[in-house]
Structure 1
Amino acid sequence: MYLSRGSWCVWRALGRRREPWRGSGVHTWSPLASALNSRPSKLLSLQFKGNSVRKGLFGHPELQEPGGFYLLKENAMFESDDLVKECCSPNRSRKMVEVFDQLSDTLCRVADLAEFVRLAHPQARYAQAAEDACIAISGLVEKLNTHAKLYQCLREVVLHGDHMPTTEVDQHVARLFLHDFEQSGIHLNENQRQRVVSLNELILTMGQHFMNGSHHPRAVPKDKLPEAIRQHFAIDGNNIVVTGLYADAPQEITREAAYKIYLFPDPHQEDMLTEMLNGRHEMATLCGFPSYAHRAVSGSLAETPEFVVEFLELLAEKVRPRAQEDFEEMAAAKKFQQGNSRGLAPWDVLHFTRILRQNKCEVSANILAPYFSLGAVMEGLSGLLHNLYDVTLEVEEPTPGELWATDIYKLAVKHGSEGVLGHIYCDFYERVGKPHQDCHFTIRGGKCLPDGSYQNPVVVLHLNLPSPSWSCPSLLTPSMVENLFHEMGHALHSMLARTQYQHVTGTRCSTDFAEVPSILMESFAQDPRVLSTFARHYKTGDKMPADLLEKMIAARSIFAASEMQLQTFYALLDQHLHGAERWSSSVSTTQILEEVQNKYYGLPYVKNTAWQLRFGHLVGYGAKYYSYLLSRAVASWIWQEYFAEDPFSREMGEKYRAEVLSHGGGKPPRALVEDFLERSVESGSTVRALMTDLDQRKCQVAAAFS
């Protein structure tokens, strides 16, 4: 997304040798690669005085100072008042959905920007001002969610049509707005609506407490553990403190002790989880849904929780024999290492997965990283995008005050004939106080403007890559390369979607569809034909040797089946906890865990453990944890049908952009995918795509390490 510095011409002078994108010969780095392979220079990001034009954050003149957030917030609130009046006016001269989308855009342009600055800005004054703006806009949104006349006007249009001609897209987006309204219970009577409000508060509170508790260490008296393993844990007085699962511990007894202590049932966590789940169920039923799962997947690619469960159960069935092969290999390694063992246990899986991957690959990340300088990877990405979409990434000099740190890059996304499609700010490097997460932020969504022009999107790619030094660029591990491609997939969804409405731009679609473009980009990042175009040693420019590249790719696929089975088990547990078939008050979530694990996972439940009480994703992904698996299935299907034969195909790239990316969330996701693939999205077809992917990965592993 972003990178900071001054003119790339300075970095270009520091460039090295380069080779054309798909050609051969002497290699010299492109301006993009040279810029990203050079050490950030604070001098180039100084706020120059004199004749320089100074702007604020992201080019907003109001944000030259933190107090500008107050002005942005006030302007948005005044504008929203006028738009609400327009929606409710009998003399409205625009489509209802157009006015609603302008209202959404007005609020999102402040809320999305403020949310990012609140999380990422290193200066406390900016972060606090942004947080104040977030709170103010959130309060206004809550007020609008209870605006009865606004709701009735929109509902009338959705049910009986607008007094102006509308398209299918207009009607779809209007239904999405109405659905968002009714999620808050505005259609209920006053007592029910107030109950929904109180339940929302309870769910939020319980979720926050549960998340906090899921990371707490566990302390036990020292005399409860054998003396021989006490030194492996932190000691606090007379207690042993266990902070995790200690999967790296070489002794099984240490891993077993950590597993059983850290995952021992916590009654307080159990109560909070149960109260949150019960609150979600009551809220969903009050709003007219059979269960919280029905509420969560409404309007998604899956469409119904019945489809989700059918998909997951078939996946569990098909992946079981493949996962069992993985477990047998781990069990053999354990027996070889320890002699007479008790067989493979849950606390062994992470340990032997890591060991066997290292043993097979025989190549450390330190050997691979020099072939993946940040500049080389970004040059490779730009070349890939040029081949697929006639799109390139170009470093653009920011204006003084535009950036929030000195090591941010600003990239223009340019199309060969359409010009600039948007901007990506790349906040790539680690720094003190920066949140440690890889993610994509939408700062401004794309949309058609009344004058016929287009509001280009602005996004941020937020990673934690190692900073470059004076003598060495930022060098990436294979997993970092994959993560960069993944997050760039989200950014491209935002850039290449040319939606009429901001409410459905880019990644503003259902969770189980939003991950499809980013996971598809992972397939490009794991293809040797793509990697070989940019995997070059940062000092010599030499290509990565073919056998090393083959082993690196294969290593990422070792034990892919057992990992998929684990994720399927997690997703099924999530569905059981949020589904329509409620459990009685005498049954705990731990008992449900035991039942689901024994049925769907290859290793049995361990008595007196409660893994689900450490699973924070139940809060953020309630009833939607399946999304990543379904997204991976669809992405694998698209890859196999359109890109496996030629990952550089312009014909397939243009088709994918036109029929998938361009729509954002402006078309129902199930219809969008089915129209593109020309097949029905069914549990059988999606699971088949995943099994094909797994079997191909297994062949890669066998070929690389035979």
Structure 2
Amino acid sequence: MTASTMEAVPKGTLINFNILPEEMLSKTQQAINAERAVMDAVAKVEVPTFDSVILPLVNIQSENETTYNTNIILHELSTDSAIRNAGEKCQKLQEEFEIECSMREDVYKVVRQVYSNKAEMEKLVEEDTRLVEKMELEYRRNGLLLPKDKREELSKIKKRLVDLQLDFTRNCRDDEGKESFTRKDLDGLPDRFLEDLETEVVEGTPRYFVNTSYIHYFTVMKHAKKESTRKAMLVLFTTRCPENLQILQEIVELRAKQAKLLGYSTHSEYILEMQMAKTPQAVLDMENDLRNRLTAQGKKELNELVNLKKRDLRKRCIKYEGFFAWDRVYYNRMVIEKRHNISEEVLQQYFPLNTVVRGVLNIYEEMLGLRIVKTECTNIWHEEVELFEVWEAHEKDKFVGHFYLDLHPREGKENGASATRVRSGYEKPDGSRQFPVAIMSASFPKPTSKTPALLKQTNVISFMHEMGHIFHNLCAVTKRSRFHGSKVERDFVEAPSQMLENWAWEPAALRKFSGHYKTGEPIPDSLIKSLIAAKLEGSATVNLGNVFYGMYDMAIHSTTDGKVDINALYRTMFEDITLSDLGDTNTFSVATFDHLVEGYDSKYYGYLYSQVFSEDMFATRFKKEGLDNPKTGRDYRNEILRPGASRDAMVSLEKFLGRKPNNDAFLKSIGL
């Protein structure tokens, strides 16, 4: 990774995020007006062809994408509530306009004429043929073949869903719980964590405030010796956004109603038609098979944790009253530390944020044949944001795209780690190329008063994963923005990112992105050996959790009327599948399960489904041929990343693997 550059980046590649709320709204309305005008004109075309109908629609959508996505970014990441609110209003305008577009019978009529014109279709290149076919199918799936009264009913449902989904995500972002504890309550937590907590003296006793950010939550759950503290933290974390229960309940019912209007028996059936899995039964077969395979090992893991807790409490002269959901993370950490002589706090010292970022980006440079350059960052949404240019390593002056990093938590910013495409790469009307821009956001630890920002290994894996999405979006080269980068099937989209997580367990790679924050020494071989040995500790439990989320998602979306008690079912399935006990707590974690309203409805199974492909790609090519093998990296870039969604994901997989994928490597990776 290079520190700076004197090369001239092509004009018009950067995006201005430093805009006022009123500008956001006016630009959004201008974009909508321009797109509506194009649709009006297209609908009146007397001789529908690809050039007269499809291209104008595609070009205006590509042009407007940056405006729309910028609003989403500012809504999720800005610290200014006025900008966040404007971003939400813009999103609502965008999504309601999208509904309007999807219901334009007059536009569908001319699109269908192009689609039905065999001579016209035969003239097109493969990607444009696919484009017309996908457009026609989307119109049909949006109900354009329904009678007018049914279309109007469908439109009302979609608009109501927009409102509900925005309400749900706003509540998740804004409802940050906070609780105060004494120093004794927080016994066991690292001093580095405690020293920067907000404190207040109450009746002569200092109290430390922790919140529901992922950093605070998991640190407390992993290290707090007092069971009452862990229980209080779990309750705090899982009783946010009570209003979201009713919101999600209505969402599920409306989705079922929408599916029925469109001729599908359930929402899951409607959604899965467009995914690799194709049917709900295929998903349930996969989930149940994994559950059956994992449960025996999960019970063994649970039994070991139960016995460890009993011994621990006996030493402290505390009565054992059961093993609960708030105990798992704490005692699993103890198993890893005792069995493998790994201290999370010691391990963290080898992962300073800057060292990890530099080392991981160097790995991606070598693998993908890129040159990454940190550059001056202006017109951004927060001073912590960093900007990087990406260039071809072996082709002088050939620009690839930009990405931004926004890696620390702050008030008003969306929690967790994610990668977002701001602008797709595509061919502009004049034949020149529009270059892609992407953003990675995370909630990684900040520097303290005594140490730089130090990452846990889970943070390192998250960084590698999300950067996999970034490079999927940067390395794709498609003609149309509709197929750019990670716009692949949702049950494949995680595969490229999951594959790159494997580098976090490879000794040679670990040395490249580690370095003690005081000495700079890479992580020692003995610690690497212990880390790899501990990889499968608790893996059955972790994967049963993934099975639960996928099966719950399918359960609430596989009823014909959506009439299901979403929280009661969540608690029952959670305890049953994950072998967990929620005790006497009155929790409702489903109220913050935001994947259900952010595009993963009936698709959460995709995390496990795509992991089959990711492990197969890694074991078959990279592990076998060498992590540093330039041909393997080039093949991966050309066959998996470059095509984006311009062809079916299965085609890309088979070209890279040289055969059909199988689940052998995946089962081995999770200890089966």
TM-score with structure 2 setting the length: 0.80
- Per the alignment, residue 196 of structure 2 pairs with none
- Uncovered stretches (5+) of structure 1, i.e. residues with no partner: 1-29, 36-54, 219-228, 230-242, 697-706
Name the SS of the counterpart of 1:163 in structure 2: helix
- In 1, the alpha carbon distance for the partners of 2:568 and 2:148 equals 37
Residue of structure 2 equivalent to 1:48: none
Matched, 1:416 2:393: yes
Shift of 1:575: 1.3
Q: Assess if the C-alpha contact under 8 Å between 1:63 and 1:69 holds in 2.
A: no
Inter-CA distance 270–80: structure 2 relative to 1 (3 Å threshold): closer
Deviations 1:180-211 (A, max 9, x none): 43444333222212222333344455566777
Cα offset for 1:360? 4.0
The structure 2 residue matched to 1:80, chosen from 15, 22, 35, is 35
Tell me if 1:189 matches 2:169. Answer: no
Is the CA contact 2:99–2:159 (under 8 Å) kept in the aligned structure 1? no
**Which has the larger displacement, 665-674 or 111-120?**
665-674
What secondary structure does 1:663 align onto? coil
Amino acid at match of 2:143: G
Query: 2:635 is matched by which residue type in structure 1?
Result: K
CA change 1:659–1:279 in 2 (3 A) is: same
Q: Does 1:323 align with 2:302?
A: no
Shift of 1:517: 1.4
Give the secondary-structure state (helix, strand or coil) at the position aligned to 2:513.
Answer: coil
**Which of residues 469, 472, 475 in structure 2 aligns to 1:493?**
472
Secondary structure of residue in 2 paired with 1:197? helix
Q: Structure 1 residue 368: deviation in Å?
A: 3.0
- Measured in 2, the distance between the counterparts of 1:582 and 1:124 equals 37
Query: Is 1:146 the counterpart of 2:103 in the alignment?
Result: yes
1:278-317, Cα deviation, whole Å (9 max, x unpaired)? 2211111111222100122232222222211111111112
Residue among 693, 699, 704 paired with 2:669? 693
Alignment map for 1:240-319 (pairs within 5 Å): 250=225, 273-319=248-294
Q: Classify 1:410/1:150 alpha carbon distance in 2 versus 1 (closer, same or farther; 3 Å).
A: same
Q: 1:474 Cα shift?
A: 3.7
Cα distance change of structure 1 residues 381 and 295 upon mapping to structure 2, 3 Å threshold:
same
Q: Does 1:648 align with 2:628?
A: yes
Residue 625 (structure 1) aligned with residue 583 (structure 2): no
- Give the number of equivalent residue pairs: 621
Partner of 1:114: 71
What does 1:384-533 align with in structure 2 at a 5 Å threshold? 384-398=363-377, 401-418=378-395, 419-467=398-446, 473-533=452-512
Say which SS state the counterpart of residue 395 (structure 1) adopts.
strand
1:263: Cα distance to partner? 8.1
User: Alpha-carbon deviations, 1:571-606, whole Å to 9, x = none?
Assistant: 1122122125778x6x74567557756864445797
Task: Give per-residue Cα distances to partners, 1:615-660, cap 9 Å, x unaligned.
Answer: 6244443222211111222211211111123222211111111111
TM-aligned CA distance change 1:392 to 1:158, over 3 Å: same
> Cα gap change, 1:172/1:368 in structure 2, threshold over 3 Å: closer, same or farther?
same
Of residues 123-132 and 557-566 in structure 1, the stretch that sits farther from structure 2 once superposed is 123-132
Amino acid at match of 2:46: P
Name the aligned partner's letter for residue 489 of structure 2: S
Measure, in 1, the Cα distance between the counterparts of 2:609 and 2:634. Answer: 24
| 1:590-609 aligned within 5 A | 592=569, 596=573, 600-602=577-579
Contact kept, 8 Å, 1:318 with 1:691, in 2: the verdict is no
Amino acid at match of 1:196: L
Q: 1:475 Cα deviation (Å)?
A: 3.2
- Give the distance between the partners of 1:451 and 1:626, measured in 2 at CA: 41
Deviation at 1:324, TM superposition (A): 2.3
Q: Is the 8 A contact 1:319 1:691 kept in 2?
A: no
**1:573/1:596 contact within 8 Å kept:** yes
Which amino acid counterpart does residue 642 of structure 2 have in structure 1?
Answer: S
Hey, what's the Cα distance between the residues in 2 that align with 1:503 and 1:448? Answer: 11
Highest relative contact order (Cα 8 Å, sep 6+), 1 or 2?
Answer: 1
Of stretches 546-555 and 92-101 in structure 1, the one that deviates more from structure 2 is 92-101
Judge conservation of contact 2:257–2:561 (CA < 8 Å) in 1.
Answer: no
Instruction: Say whether the 8 Å CA contact 1:365–1:477 is kept in structure 2.
Output: yes
Distance in 2 between residues matched to 1:589 and 1:113, nearest whole Å: 33
Q: Which residue of 1 aligns with 2:525?
A: 546
Kindly indicate whether residue 58 of structure 2 is the aligned counterpart of residue 98 of structure 1: no
- Give 1:198's aligned amino acid: K
Deviations 1:438-473, CA, capped at 9 Å, x for gaps = 222222110122343321101112223445589965
Distance 2:176 2:74 in 1: 31
Q: Separation in 2 of the partners of 1:75 and 1:271?
A: 35
Amino acid at match of 2:557: H
In structure 1, how many angstroms separate the alpha carbons of the residues matched to 2:289 and 2:569?
A: 20
Matches within 5 A, 1:96-245: 96-123=53-80, 127=84, 130-131=87-88, 133-161=90-118, 163=120, 165-204=123-162
Instruction: Note if contact 1:299-1:668 (Cα within 8 Å) is conserved in structure 2.
Output: no
TM-score by length of 1: 0.76
Could you tell which deviates more after superposition, 599-608 or 116-125?
Answer: 599-608
More off after superposition, 598-607 vs 343-352:
598-607
Partners of 2:479 and 2:281 lie apart in 1 by 32
What's the Cα RMSD here? 4.2
